[in-house]
Amino acid sequence: MRILLALLSGGLFGAGLFISGMTDTTKVQGWLDVFGQWDPTLAFVMGGAMIPMAIAWRLTIGRRPVVGGEFPKAPRADIDNRLVIGSVLFGVGWGLAGLCPGPSLASLSYGGWGGFVFLAAMLIGMGLAPTITARLDRTPAAA
């Protein structure tokens, strides 16, 4: 049952990414081009994702998932070197490629070689992340 629900959820998520335009690199880059030909339509996609998720986080307090396990803990709220550097790297990658992890996987079926190159670069970055994180954790924060 758990695998079936995961498959259905993943399929729904991928369909939502496709329908919303999040897998269209030119649409994403248009969203990020605030000083040029800005395309504000993805603001509705992001709002349509963040608002229900904020409500969902509140509804999970004190509850357990129907299919077992536990809900993930809320993310940390502090701003540190790891958050800033990670955000910058994510933003640069998103701006250059027009893809982020979810849409990159959804676009593999039709995105051509560019999607596979992005996926390879993303996997390399994920492989390097623990080493970089350990190094950042050893670096004293600027006062």
For residue 44, the model assigns a pLDDT of 87
User: pLDDT tens, 129-142?
Assistant: 889 888 877 866 55
For residue 111, the model assigns a pLDDT of 65
Q: How confident is the model at residue 73 (pLDDT cuts 50, 70, 90)?
A: confident
Nearest CA to 48 among 3, 82, 75, 13? 13
45 CB neighbour count, 10 Å cutoff: 18
pTM: 0.67
* Residue 104: burial class (beta carbons within 10 Å; 0-12, 13-18, 19+): buried
99 CB neighbour count, 10 Å cutoff: 25
What is the average pLDDT score of the chain?
A: 84
User: pLDDT tens, 21-38?
Assistant: 888 888 888 888 889 888
